[in-house]
Amino acid sequence: MHGVARNFFTLAILYAICGMALGLHMSITHDHSQMPVHAHAMVAGWLMSAVFAFFYHLMPAAAASRLAAVHFWLTAVSGVALIVGLYFLLAGKAAVEPVVATASMAFYAGILLFAGIAFSAMRKPVGVQTVSR
Ligand code: HEM
Ligand code: HEM
**Is 101's C-beta closer than 6 angstroms to any atom of ligand 1?**
no
According to the model, what pLDDT value does residue 130 have?
55
CA of 132 to the centre of ligand 2 (A): 36
According to the model, what pLDDT value does residue 133 have?
47
CA of 121 to the centre of ligand 2 (A): 28
Task: Please name the residue ranges forming H helices in 3-133.
Answer: 3-29, 35-40, 48-58, 60-63, 66-90, 97-123, 126-129
CB atoms within 10 A of CB 25: 12
**Is 57's C-beta closer than 6 angstroms to any atom of ligand 2?**
no
* Regions of the chain with pLDDT less than 70: 126-133
Residue type, 22: L
Q: pTM of the prediction? A: 0.94
According to the model, what pLDDT value does residue 23 have?
98
